[in-house]
Structure 1
């Protein structure tokens, strides 16, 4: 005895017609099957290899990032002679800028 499924969710077995409910699992499998466009679309693709120039830029960005973060700490480790309020505000602003710029330079990724 063969069973055929009709598009409306009705299963036909021989001559008798019975209602077969469509479950969420069936719908999600159907949606996945319809959205699948071959092996290339759903599998993660490996990142392309970096050229020597791109590797050099990444390493330089890391070195500059570390240098900026060390400079941010150095502003307060070696304060100098003058401790006026205006200079403290400038140091605070430079510390924030150097820290943020250094952290962003350390996070350079492949593109």
Structure 2
């Protein structure tokens, strides 16, 4: 989850840079959360629960980016019944997929292909 949040923060900082409304120190700040996120994500993958780590990243990254964009950058969120229903359906599907991935067992070293 932490890697997803940091990738979402990186997306927000990148958006600020692209828009051109930034301070010079932003150039130094952008790589920091991305590198920390990469290290955290690789560690999560190494533990053996790839599905859970990947699902958590896929949920946390866009949610963080949307929240930061709305709260910090003032970007509007979609409104209306169709947008709400779509968001609820996507949330339910994401939750079901995350639960399904979390229930899978990690691969053991003995079940990996040997390359022969």
TM-score range, shorter chain: 0.3 to 0.5
TM (normalized to structure 1)? 0.37
- Structure index of larger Rg: 1
Q: Which structure shows the bigger proportion of residues in helix conformation?
A: 2
Q: Which structure shows the bigger proportion of residues in strand conformation?
A: 1
